[in-house]
Amino acid sequence: MRYAETGFNLEVDLTRKNIVRVQSDPRDTELYLGGLGTNAKILWDRVPPEVDAFSPDNLLIFGAGLLCGTPATGCNRTIVSTISPQTKLMAFSMMGGFWAPELKYAGYDKVILRGKSPDLVYLWIHNDKVEIRDASHLAGKGSNETAQILRKELNQPKAQVVSIGLAGENRVYYASIEQGRSSASRGGIGAVMGDKKVKAIVVRGTGDINVAKPVEYLEQCNEVLEYIKWREDNPIPGVIPIFAVLGSPQEMAIHDEKWHTENFSWGNARLRRKDFWTEEVEKEWYDTLESARTRLISCYNCPLKCGATLSLPGLPTYMMKCFSKLTYTMATMSNLEFGLTIAQRATEHGLDGYSTPQVMAFALELYENGILTDDDMPGLPADNEEKFYWLLDQIVNRQGIGDALANGTYWAAKEIGKGAEEYAHNNIKKHEQLPLKLGMLNPIYYLMYCTGEKINITQIEGQFPQAPFPKREHREKFVKDWFQVPDDRFKQYFLDWELRGENSMPFYPTVPMVCDIVDWMERMHYIDDALGVCTGLSSFHLKPPYHIHNFPKFISAGAGIDMDEAKLTQATNRYRTLVRAINIRRGMRRKDERPPEDHWKKRFPELEAELLDAYYELKGWNKEGIPTQASLAELGLDYVSKDFIQRGIYADSESALSKEAPAENDQE
Ligand code: SF4
């Protein structure tokens, strides 16, 4: 008997229109857990580096986390993994909502798509019955519209649907996969779904999931629920509101946007507006949100309400959560009403709410600086807000300049030339980042930005405070009930962290401490992504209900795998290293590991090099960021080093290390 997981994956060959239910190997679950971990193993085994994003041999894997569908609160994440058209590396993007538990109840842990359908299709999974069906009538339809049509056609109001919009169909590199209550947006995974000509996957499942030790498991679940309730009533004092409570940042419930609007950058991630948040703006934005928001909503099996349904005059209702509330407003330099209105259309098109506004603002910056001209943008309206609608339309249809812009700022700048690359200034590994421009280097964030392979800083950070508390007595109070730390040394790091003087940034926390902190934060995110736990109840928060001390109990009682903290750390290191190995095999090296060029004004090149060296060493990677043979052997990943040797990756890295500056390889 398999516990927590179903033990079966659905393999769908779109070229041959062949569907097979395949039993998975329980030893893989012990080694790589599930979700991201087993997705990474499948990509390593089956997608060699010669396969590009739009090859029929690329896989698009929808993996439910190991604990999804069990009674554990907030375990509802679908982890979508593939090769990204934008970064050319492994993409793994998560979505909450209801889809992953429904897939488990239908009897599957993963849906693995390979090949390409000649015509637009959708997949209908109804327990044991699985069909590839014609979707020609859905071509060009919006993502939510598609879900509604399919539920009606199938007469299945309870079915869960993932779908793409026009952006995915036209292979826009930052196309998302939408799910009504959530979306998987990073890495252009929607473009891969569009390339495979799959418009949607509809799931209805009515089965059960077994857990190994139900009594112990429910005790753990109840403890988590009680803690969530307690934390809601007792926010953490002294930290910014989004970290004081739990959940994805409660953007749809709050009105005070002073922190975001004055600290994040506007336009093409350039301009800080330090006195933006006035009483007048607050009143106007309050009225806008109150009249647009119909209700606050949750994901499957979660008492929190991080999202909201929005209804704007004359437009269909749609769902929004988190910082996408502000991204369109701030890129456009407009108001909240405009941001919420254009976001409705962008969501129907299926676009990443972080990248899309930046790409449009980038285009207008090029236009204002004469790099793009009226000849490149025939028909560009005069009105600022209309310009954004026009650009959105050009991008999702890949019309005119929209064809270049649809590839993201990095590739668009290369194609446009004439100095445009200077304006694509907010990328890491060729992907747009949060529009943040700050003063002094923060070594913790430096390492997370450089070495993160998830391409989204909010999905790396969380467990350690972002900044020191000014007074030691506050710090002492903070560490008192900080039981989530893996070791008490983290409390000491924080206690001794001062705003000014010897123990302040950038030289405190010291290099080994910074590495230790980043390693802890990253580990927690990777655990979430294998188990399917929402980071809003776990790794994104300072004192979350899920942590390194109770996760092993959940895995033991839930999946029946004998687990302790050391084994869990080892398993997490194993698939985290496998993600890196996939990317190393695809050409990622130290030169790619850097923050956006102008993220911090004040930089410390020597310290930065020391940080990278030390972190690489801690992780068992060489100076090029390549996992060493010894560290791979320790993790039972000898098959990776064998592959690296065969491909000459170690030999090439030795010769690169002996040269001063390796030439840039864009893997074009
Ligand atoms: S905390 Fe928020 S985002 Fe996370 S599962 Fe609950 S409702 Fe969804």
Confidence band for 203, pLDDT divided at 50, 70 and 90: very high
> What is the pLDDT at residue 660?
53
Q: Find, among 347, 332, 428, the residue nearest to 384 by Cα.
A: 332
Q: 307 with 341: CB under 8 angstroms?
A: no
CA of 273 to the centre of ligand 1 (A): 31
- Say if residue 666's pLDDT is above 80: no
Better-predicted residue by pLDDT, 249 or 444: 444
CA of 178 to the centre of ligand 1 (A): 16
Give the span between the Cα atoms of 205 and 208, in whole angstroms.
9
Q: Is 73 in the pocket of ligand 1 (CB under 6 A)?
A: no
User: Bridge partners of 103?
Assistant: none
Question: Furthest-apart CA pair in the chain: how many Å?
Answer: 69
**Using alpha carbons only, what angle is made at residue 474 by residues 470 and 480, rounded to the nearest 5 degrees?**
140
* Nearby residues of 98 by Cβ (< 8 Å), 6 or more positions away: 76, 160, 179, 181, 299, 300
**Beta-strand runs (E) in 121-206:** 121-126, 129-134, 160-163, 177-178, 183-184, 198-204
* Nearby residues of 386 by Cβ (< 8 Å), 6 or more positions away: none
Print burial letters for 417-447: b (CB count within 10 Å at least 16), e (below 16).
eeebeebbbbbbbbbbbbbbbeeebbbbbbb
Chain position carrying tokens 């982890």: 79
User: Bridge partners of 91?
Assistant: 82
- Say if residue 140's pLDDT is above 60: yes
* Nearby residues of 66 by Cβ (< 8 Å), 6 or more positions away: 4, 5, 29, 33, 34, 35, 530, 531, 532, 555, 558, 559
- Site to probe by mutation for ligand 1, drawn from 185, 299, 320, 325 as the one with most ligand atoms within 8 Å of Cβ, is 299
Structure tokens at 168: 């995915």
Neighbours of 137 (CB within 10 A): 11
Confidence band for 199, pLDDT divided at 50, 70 and 90: very high
> What is the pLDDT at residue 654?
79
Helix axis angle for 565-585 and 36-46, nearest 10°, is 40
- Say if residue 664's pLDDT is above 50: no
Confidence band for 450, pLDDT divided at 50, 70 and 90: very high
Indicate the average pLDDT of the chain. Answer: 95
Element (H, E) at 646: helix 638-646
User: What is the rounded average pLDDT of the residues 566-577?
Assistant: 98
**Using alpha carbons only, what angle is made at residue 123 by residues 305 and 9, rounded to the nearest 5 degrees?**
80
Q: Find, among 602, 385, 558, the residue nearest to 4 by Cα.
A: 558
Percent of the chain with pLDDT over 90: 91
Nearest protein CA to atom 1 of ligand 1, as residue: 247
Neighbours of 525 (CB within 10 A): 27
Better-predicted residue by pLDDT, 665 or 11: 11
Give the span between the Cα atoms of 171 and 160, in whole angstroms.
23
Q: Is 304 in the pocket of ligand 1 (CB under 6 A)?
A: yes
CA of 299 to the centre of ligand 1 (A): 5
CA of 569 to the centre of ligand 1 (A): 25
Neighbours of 56 (CB within 10 A): 14
- Site to probe by mutation for ligand 1, drawn from 98, 300, 302 as the one with most ligand atoms within 8 Å of Cβ, is 302
Q: 41 with 578: CB under 8 angstroms?
A: yes
User: Which atom of ligand 1 is nearest to 246's Cα?
Assistant: 1
- Site to probe by mutation for ligand 1, drawn from 251, 306, 319 as the one with most ligand atoms within 8 Å of Cβ, is 306
- Phi/psi of residue 524, nearest 5 degrees: -65, -40
Q: Is 65 in the pocket of ligand 1 (CB under 6 A)?
A: no
At 624-649, the pLDDT tens digits run 999 999 999 999 999 999 999 999 99
- Say if residue 460's pLDDT is above 90: no
CA of 298 to the centre of ligand 1 (A): 6
Q: Is 534 in the pocket of ligand 1 (CB under 6 A)?
A: yes
Structure tokens at 497: 């962290």
- Say if residue 622's pLDDT is above 50: yes
At 107-126, the pLDDT tens digits run 999 999 999 999 999 999 99
CA of 74 to the centre of ligand 1 (A): 6
Q: Is 536 in the pocket of ligand 1 (CB under 6 A)?
A: yes
Quick one: CA dihedral 351, 352, 354, 358, positive or negative? negative
- Phi/psi of residue 80, nearest 5 degrees: -100, 125
CA of 180 to the centre of ligand 1 (A): 14
Q: Is 299 in the pocket of ligand 1 (CB under 6 A)?
A: yes
CA of 554 to the centre of ligand 1 (A): 19
CA of 546 to the centre of ligand 1 (A): 13
User: Which atom of ligand 1 is nearest to 535's Cα?
Assistant: 4
> What is the pLDDT at residue 665?
42
CA of 539 to the centre of ligand 1 (A): 13
Query: How would you classify residue 88: left for phi > 0, otherwise alpha for psi between -120 and 50, otherwise beta?
Result: left
CA of 533 to the centre of ligand 1 (A): 9
CA of 577 to the centre of ligand 1 (A): 28
User: Which atom of ligand 1 is nearest to 306's Cα?
Assistant: 2
Q: 585 with 485: CB under 8 angstroms?
A: no
Q: Is 245 in the pocket of ligand 1 (CB under 6 A)?
A: no
> What is the pLDDT at residue 65?
98
Give the SS3 label for residue 454. coil
Give the span between the Cα atoms of 451 and 428, in whole angstroms.
10
Q: Is 532 in the pocket of ligand 1 (CB under 6 A)?
A: no
Q: 456 with 186: CB under 8 angstroms?
A: yes
- Say if residue 249's pLDDT is above 50: yes
- Say if residue 668's pLDDT is above 70: no
Q: Is 247 in the pocket of ligand 1 (CB under 6 A)?
A: yes
CA of 289 to the centre of ligand 1 (A): 20
DSSP 77: -
- Say if residue 369's pLDDT is above 60: yes
DSSP alpha helix (H) spans, 234-335: 241-244, 258-263, 279-292, 324-332
Neighbours of 179 (CB within 10 A): 25
Percent of the chain with pLDDT over 70: 98
User: Which atom of ligand 1 is nearest to 302's Cα?
Assistant: 6
User: What is the rounded average pLDDT of the residues 442-462?
Assistant: 88
Q: Is 298 in the pocket of ligand 1 (CB under 6 A)?
A: yes
- Cis omega (within 30 of 0) on the bond before 662? no
At 47-103, the pLDDT tens digits run 999 999 999 999 999 999 999 999 999 999 999 999 999 999 999 999 999 999 999
Q: Is 89 in the pocket of ligand 1 (CB under 6 A)?
A: no
Element (H, E) at 105: helix 99-106
CA of 181 to the centre of ligand 1 (A): 10
**Beta-strand runs (E) in 350-417:** none
- Phi/psi of residue 644, nearest 5 degrees: -60, -40
Better-predicted residue by pLDDT, 658 or 563: 563
User: What is the rounded average pLDDT of the residues 363-392?
Assistant: 98
User: What is the rounded average pLDDT of the residues 237-247?
Assistant: 83
Nearest protein CA to atom 8 of ligand 1, as residue: 299
Give the SS3 label for residue 132. strand
> What is the pLDDT at residue 627?
98
